[in-house]
Structure 1
Amino acid sequence: MTQLIVIAFYMGLLLGLAWLAGRWSRGTASDYFVAERSIGSFMFLMSIFGTTMTAFSIVGSTGESFRIGIGVYGMIASSSCLVHTAIFFFVGIRLWAIGKQYGFVTQIQYFRDRFESNALGWLLFPVLVVLVIPYLMIGLLGAGAVINSLTTNAFPVIFATTGGGIPPWLSEFVVSSVILLYIFVGGLRAAVWANTLQTCIFVTACLITFGVIAHALGGIEAASRSVVATNPNKMIRGEGVPQLYFLSYCLIPLSAGMFPHIFQHWLTARSAKTFRLTLVAHPIFTLLVWLPCVLVGVWATSAMLSDGSLVVPPDTPANTELATMIQKLTGPLLGGLLGAGILAAIMSSLDSQFFCLGTMFTNDVVTHYFGKNRFDNRKMVLMTRLFIVAIIAVVYLFALFEPRHVFTLGIWSFSGFVGLFPLVIAALYWRRATTTGATASVVVAGSTWFLLFREAQYGADRTYLFLDMLPAATIFVAASAALILVSLITAAPSHETLRKYFPEATAVNSDL
């Protein structure tokens, strides 16, 4: 019960922060969608990092390292430290500048204008929504699993079928409702403020969790020696991770370059200088979160209680490994605080993801089709809120009936965004990229993703590989090839578009 009280207090704190953000709001659509592009360096770092650290990073990394070992850190976290920073520098800053200059609030607005195609926008919208939905699902699945595990035996009579813990359907509903309330009230500004608080909480919680669990297991060295003695394959990369498979994981961080919620957060920056702190600190923060979670997952393979039983039995439900370690190795109060930290990581990404879909619906579908002048600020905000409610309802229902592993679902979602990454690189850096080439790239990426996803039994086959690599590699190569080949054989963009987005190159060509 103590854990539940702490978590409830944390939820109340978020709602209070949302109320303050709502009071601070200027009441305009620009404030609601991009916080008037006024976010400073510290909050920008907190919101970007909080948005990239999802249930995949906290719950999924622990569960996957419990399954395959410490190599998980090398497969995802080590490459993310470098790739994410490069994306923020080479993609994020340029898109921020373009968005500020031309008033864009979604990436679809940019692609429509850059490639002179309304059809491309209509194609991209459903593709992005479909890819974000499994990303949202992993957040709700992670939240449900964590709360259920932390409250085990708290309600033995009411929730007997779930071990006395709060059932996932209820906790997922509460988490969704709290997120809905605070983004309803304050929009993206509330999400940024909440993400700042949540990031501070979950980074601190990760470090405390690591220290407390390490102490309970006799220290870092003792916990690691126990794994070496009982499960040595968990402490080395070994033959269990083939080289092509390992290398294909390096593509996964490219997905951040096409996340619609990351794009929207980029647009909130006050200036290009706002990115500086994020470029330096993001890799450090990634290390501080991923390494403790991965090590705890590895230690869980051999950690034992005083009676000789495993802390995390082999039949432990998926996505609950971290929460089980916390619940069994810490006290109720500390367990509640650490549980709130895990929820902070999960909710700091869910809010931005839900909000970006509402923003896309309003700006890329409704106002684009009917005309922006037909709607005042109040109506635009209302449409955004209604679509967010619809998306939350759909994701909630999917999460109830789709208990996939968080890590597996995350990889499939990221793989689709990896396939779209060539589009943004070509849009920014290749003036010869054409409308038809961009369209072909999106069609090929979406089709290849769906075919491979279906072949993997819609994510049920956790070990599915294509050509001994993650599907992301095939999707990326196919989409890149389609973009390049089709662009080379179709008409180049208009001179007006090239002059707008490549002024330096156009000037050089004019002088020749």
Structure 2
Amino acid sequence: MNSESLLEPVVAFTIYLSLMVVMAVYFYNKTKSQSDFVLGGRKLGSFVTALSANASDFSGWLLLGLPGAIYASGFGEAWIAVGLACGSLGSWVLLAPRLRVYTHRVTDFLTGGESNSLTLSSFLENRFADRSRLLRAVSAIIIIVFYFFYVASGMTAMMALFDQVFGLGPVPAVLIGLGFVVAYTVIGGFLAVSVTDTVQAVLMWIALLFVPIVAVGAIGGLGEVRDGVAAGSESLLSAFGGASLNADTGTWEPTGALGWVVIVSGLAWAFGYFGQPHILARYMGIRSVKQIPVAATVSVTWAVTAMAMAVLVGYVGIAYFEAPLSDPEQVFPALITALMNPWVAGFLMAAILAAVMSTADSQLLVASSAITEDGYRAFVDKHASPTRLMWLSRVTVVVVAVIAALVALFGDQSVMDLVGYAWAGFGAGFGPVLLMSVFWRRMTWAGALAGMVAGASMAVVWDIFDEHVLGLGLYAMIPAVALSFLCIVVFNPLGKVTEQMATDFDAMKHEIRTGEPPVREEPSAGA
């Protein structure tokens, strides 16, 4: 690329990245403790909660992975989007209210007062009065391990974007992108991440709306788009038919009717919403339960419309480009480059960077809190000051980012593969356990530990087992979630429900029903 062609994207990226850092600096003085750094003091409004949850959720998958999947294989890939839309609504309705109240009010089993649990790991420990501390340790390990892969998916998308725009190699791309993400996450913590994610969600949605409109106009209308797609293969338009892009011949080849495995696997992505710590943190950080219905409406509306537009981007790419793209996941950036004025293109490319960064920052924050809250504070120095924990969290953000960057640089997987792997790990490792925790009064620590270990382990080994033994191609989420639920029920009798656990559960239900917390008796001085 010549220097003139680089001017516009360089200016756009510089403005965007500078804005992110400025907002982080603004929130620096509002972040005074570990609670502020990890959950923003539970002060998020409904609009910020909704859009920041979406931005931290969809990431590069929405602007790169989904359009690329549609471009390569057609509408059959949209079953994942259907599953995600259902899962998003379900998690807001079933989990968000109870998790917000329960994590705040559950009794600290060590002190007897409200725990104000800042992480899922600390919540599970307090929910089940787990004096062995196994729940906290195992859940923290699951969070840290899977976030290496999740953050690596963002780094992979970032490398592809910087290569497309600037022709940069992987190492400088990761250094630049990760440097800014780490900077504003370390500086501003949860509040900065949530507000910047809200801005990023707006940018992503505008980009997804604007590019297809311009492209459809350039092609000649929606009818021409359909004809162009059908010319590639009629199977691309069928929700129950499959197609595959042959890179050697540059043509789409029908693969026959979609089997139940493909459809069920796509829909199974829904369950991932019940176990993603970076999304659940937004539920925990909203100001009050009363704001959840508005947040849910905004969030689900954004998600459904954004995914519909991402599907359209994939189709428009098929109709627009005469020669098929060598990398389907670059269809959105390729359309921007081909259709837009360089200055407009620069800011739209910044929207893709926003998608990548909005997930990476949230994941880094949750991973660092798992190390500091659930590792250092729980097992090393339980009397560590809030300020010390906050600064330790800032250091661990950098450490996790570096390791994830190494996974991205030396791994060989697509954005879609990495996201799918981590999504299943979190969905199966935490989803069944959290749902049962907030809906089953008689659940014990034994059931929770068994379900968590079984779900996360199956998510790891299923692909290997399926590839070498069964050959089904079934998404790991399905067997992993099923095994997790089974193990929760089977092993639950090995633990017992204490009187305090039962009281806490009833108090949570009372607050959800009435909107008012019950009066808590203060622990005695000798407690």
**Could you say whether these structures have the same fold, taking a TM-score greater than 0.5 normalized by the shorter chain as the test?**
yes
Give the unaligned 5+ runs of structure 1.
152-164, 507-512
Give the unaligned 5+ runs of structure 2.
1-5, 106-114, 243-257, 511-527
Judged with a 3 Å threshold, the aligned counterparts in structure 2 of structure 1 residues 485 and 345 are, in CA distance, closer, same or farther, namely same
Q: Does 1:130 align with 2:153?
A: no
Q: What is the distance in 2 between the residues matched to 1:127 and 1:402?
A: 20
Q: Which residue is 1:476 aligned to?
A: 481
The AA in structure 2 aligned to 1:348 is S
Once the 2 structures are TM-superposed, how far is the Cα of residue 453 of structure 1 from its aligned partner? 3.6
Q: What is the distance in 2 between the residues matched to 1:491 and 1:348?
A: 40
Contact 1:415–1:472 under 8 Å retained in 2: yes
Q: Which residue is 1:198 aligned to?
A: 200
Partner of residue 426 from structure 1, selected from 416, 431, 436: 436
The AA in structure 1 aligned to 2:446 is T
Once the 2 structures are TM-superposed, how far is the Cα of residue 69 of structure 1 from its aligned partner? 0.6
After the TM superposition, which residues 429-444 of structure 1 pair with which residues of structure 2 at under 5 Å, given as runs? Answer: 429-444=439-454
Q: Which residue is 2:247 aligned to?
A: none
More divergent stretch after superposition (316-325 vs 132-141): 316-325
Q: Which residue is 1:170 aligned to?
A: 172
Partner of residue 117 from structure 2, selected from 84, 93, 104: 104
Once the 2 structures are TM-superposed, how far is the Cα of residue 31 of structure 1 from its aligned partner? 1.7
Q: Percent identity?
A: 20
Q: Which residue is 1:83 aligned to?
A: 87
Contact 1:207–1:288 under 8 Å retained in 2: no
Once the 2 structures are TM-superposed, how far is the Cα of residue 468 of structure 1 from its aligned partner? 5.2
Q: What is the distance in 2 between the residues matched to 1:224 and 1:216?
A: 14
Q: Does 1:33 align with 2:35?
A: no
Q: Which residue is 2:19 aligned to?
A: 13
Q: Does 1:494 align with 2:490?
A: no
After the TM superposition, which residues 36-185 of structure 1 pair with which residues of structure 2 at under 5 Å, given as runs? Answer: 36-73=41-78, 75-101=79-105, 102-117=115-130, 118-151=133-166, 165-185=167-187
Contact 1:465–1:471 under 8 Å retained in 2: no
Once the 2 structures are TM-superposed, how far is the Cα of residue 378 of structure 1 from its aligned partner? 2.6
Judged with a 3 Å threshold, the aligned counterparts in structure 2 of structure 1 residues 32 and 43 are, in CA distance, closer, same or farther, namely same
Q: Deviations over 1:220-267 (max 9, x none)?
A: 221221111222111112343212321232221221221111222222
More divergent stretch after superposition (281-290 vs 421-430): 281-290
- SS of residue paired to 1:54: helix
Q: Does 1:391 align with 2:400?
A: yes
Q: Deviations over 1:167-200 (max 9, x none)?
A: 2322222111101111111110110111121111
Q: What is the distance in 2 between the residues matched to 1:456 and 1:62?
A: 27
Contact 2:336–2:348 under 8 Å retained in 1: yes
The AA in structure 1 aligned to 2:382 is K
- SS of residue paired to 2:397: helix
More divergent stretch after superposition (135-144 vs 389-398): 135-144
Once the 2 structures are TM-superposed, how far is the Cα of residue 434 of structure 1 from its aligned partner? 2.2
**Coordinate RMSD, CA, aligned:** 2.1
Q: Deviations over 1:428-481 (max 9, x none)?
A: 111222222222212222322222244478xxx9xx986452221111111111
More divergent stretch after superposition (180-189 vs 218-227): 218-227
The AA in structure 2 aligned to 1:226 is G
Judged with a 3 Å threshold, the aligned counterparts in structure 2 of structure 1 residues 15 and 26 are, in CA distance, closer, same or farther, namely closer
Q: Which residue is 1:236 aligned to?
A: 238
Q: Which residue is 1:296 aligned to?
A: 313
Partner of residue 417 from structure 1, selected from 423, 426, 430: 426
Judged with a 3 Å threshold, the aligned counterparts in structure 2 of structure 1 residues 198 and 481 are, in CA distance, closer, same or farther, namely same
Contact 1:442–1:479 under 8 Å retained in 2: yes
Once the 2 structures are TM-superposed, how far is the Cα of residue 411 of structure 1 from its aligned partner? 1.4
The AA in structure 2 aligned to 1:8 is T
Q: What is the distance in 1 between the residues matched to 2:459 and 2:58?
A: 23
Q: What is the distance in 1 between the residues matched to 2:207 and 2:93?
A: 29
Contact 2:87–2:272 under 8 Å retained in 1: no
Q: Deviations over 1:278-297 (max 9, x none)?
A: 21122221122112222221
Judged with a 3 Å threshold, the aligned counterparts in structure 2 of structure 1 residues 221 and 505 are, in CA distance, closer, same or farther, namely closer
Contact 1:50–1:198 under 8 Å retained in 2: yes
Contact 1:134–1:410 under 8 Å retained in 2: yes
Q: What is the distance in 2 between the residues matched to 1:504 and 1:180?
A: 36
Q: What is the distance in 2 between the residues matched to 1:342 and 1:493?
A: 48
Q: Which residue is 2:515 aligned to?
A: none
Once the 2 structures are TM-superposed, how far is the Cα of residue 303 of structure 1 from its aligned partner? 2.4
Once the 2 structures are TM-superposed, how far is the Cα of residue 318 of structure 1 from its aligned partner? 5.6
Contact 2:211–2:335 under 8 Å retained in 1: no
Q: What is the distance in 2 between the residues matched to 1:96 and 1:325?
A: 41
The AA in structure 1 aligned to 2:503 is R
The AA in structure 1 aligned to 2:119 is T
Once the 2 structures are TM-superposed, how far is the Cα of residue 486 of structure 1 from its aligned partner? 1.6
Judged with a 3 Å threshold, the aligned counterparts in structure 2 of structure 1 residues 91 and 504 are, in CA distance, closer, same or farther, namely closer
Contact 1:150–1:335 under 8 Å retained in 2: no
The AA in structure 2 aligned to 1:387 is T
Query: Structure 1 length normalisation: TM-score?
Result: 0.88
Partner of residue 207 from structure 1, selected from 209, 212, 215: 209
Judged with a 3 Å threshold, the aligned counterparts in structure 2 of structure 1 residues 8 and 139 are, in CA distance, closer, same or farther, namely same
Q: What is the distance in 2 between the residues matched to 1:341 and 1:385?
A: 26
The AA in structure 2 aligned to 1:122 is A
Q: Which residue is 2:456 aligned to?
A: 446
Q: Which residue is 2:349 aligned to?
A: 339
Q: Deviations over 1:79-101 (max 9, x none)?
A: 32232122112111111112222
Contact 1:362–1:384 under 8 Å retained in 2: yes
More divergent stretch after superposition (237-246 vs 33-42): 237-246
Q: What is the distance in 2 between the residues matched to 1:327 and 1:504?
A: 52
The AA in structure 2 aligned to 1:380 is L
Partner of residue 405 from structure 1, selected from 403, 411, 414: 414
Q: What is the distance in 1 between the residues matched to 2:487 and 2:471?
A: 19
Judged with a 3 Å threshold, the aligned counterparts in structure 2 of structure 1 residues 456 and 343 are, in CA distance, closer, same or farther, namely farther
Count of matched residue pairs = 477
The AA in structure 1 aligned to 2:267 is C
Judged with a 3 Å threshold, the aligned counterparts in structure 2 of structure 1 residues 492 and 455 are, in CA distance, closer, same or farther, namely same
